[in-house]
Amino acid sequence: MSANAVIPRQASASNAASNNVAASKEATTKKDGDWKGFVAGVFSGITKLTVGHPFDTIKVRLQTSTHDQFKGPMDALMQTLRKEGVNGMYKGATPPLLGWMCMDSLMLGSLTLYRRLLNENIYQPYLRNSSSEAPTSDSQRLPSFGHGIAGTGAGWTVSFIAAPVEHIKARLQVQYQADKSKRQYAGPVDCAKKIYSRHGVRGLYHGLLATMIFRTSFFFWWSTYDIFTRSFQQNTSMSTPAINFWAGGLSAQIFWLFSYPSDVVKQRIMTDPLDSGRKFPRWRDAAVAVYRESGWKGYWRGFAPCALRAFPANACALVAFEGVMRTLNKAE
């Protein structure tokens, strides 16, 4: 009787050890795969820049101009094309091309990493301690709220690359002179050199806090991306790329609805003079100035081109990102 009682315990111990080894191997595999998010993010950045930069140029010009200069998005578009041609739509595109490659690599790579860390170290331990039921494939997924937290963390992380890139881009985009010789900056490198020579690294990182405030809203982007993805998977017969496209585009629209006013304030700060003519020493000063000039409408000036850009640019970018991730996973 006692011998028979020992056998199940031994088998149980053997199974537990086997499960621990399997779990350890799975965890190691997941950790080893963290690099994929950084690689796939490069392709997302290239796609996003190609599709979205013309919309971004119009958005920034509307955000930083007076009502006398442009009557609206179409007027800004037509004036830009008439005076500067198609090249004017891609003005300041070089820093964001390199920047988006680096930014999306860091943002999506860190997002992938933070998702795994949150799931393995917080959500799964909590689930094991609070439920006696066997875990299912769905319960092992990080909940949408966790995706939002990971998104905010990724937003703060990428801000340290995004701030100088967006700062230089913004200053180039508000140079309206068709004659290149009359412009303050000849290009992104010249802009970076002049800012650094006069103001040092702090000058390049002008607007870092505003960038981090803006990217805190990544919570809404990545939480809703997960919500839309799950909903489409459960309720439609769409292909995986189609799900990535629609979930990416719709979640980006929600992100901009929450974040756009802070983006307007960020652009004001980044195009503010760095010398003695500086108007906004604090984030609050820029936010108040926008309201004094135009009321609540001022926080939404330029939203139309932004909304038009957000869907196709981010939808295509996430199709590229998820597609590369699937390819890398299959290659293992």
Q: What is the pLDDT of residue 39?
A: 95
What span, in angstroms and rounded, lies between the C-alpha atoms of 93 and 99? 9
- Arithmetic mean of pLDDT, 50-67: 81
User: Do 202 and 209 contact (CB within 8 A), yes or no?
Assistant: no
Q: Which two tokens stand for residue 37?
A: 């998010």
For the whole model, what pTM was predicted?
A: 0.79
Output 76 or 155, whichever has higher pLDDT: 155
pLDDT at 248 over 50: yes
| pLDDT band at 22; cut points 50, 70, 90 | very low
What angle (nearest 5°) sits at the alpha carbon of residue 219, between those of residues 204 and 63? Answer: 50
Going from the N-terminus, what domains does the chain have, and what CATH number goes with each? 35-130+143-331 (1.50.40.10)
Structure tokens that stand for 189 in this block: 């490198």
Q: What phi, psi does 218 have (nearest 5°)? A: -60, -20
CB atoms within 10 A of CB 155: 26
Instruction: Provide the 3-class DSSP secondary structure of residue 286.
Output: helix
- Residue 84 — very low, low, confident or very high, per pLDDT cuts 50/70/90? confident
Which amino acid, 124?
Q
In whole angstroms, what is the distance from residue 225 CA to residue 238 CA?
A: 16
Instruction: Return d(Cα 52, Cα 36) in angstroms, integer.
Output: 24
289 with 280: CB under 8 angstroms? Answer: yes
Q: Model confidence over 91-124: pLDDT tens digits? A: 777 767 887 889 999 999 999 999 999 999 999 9
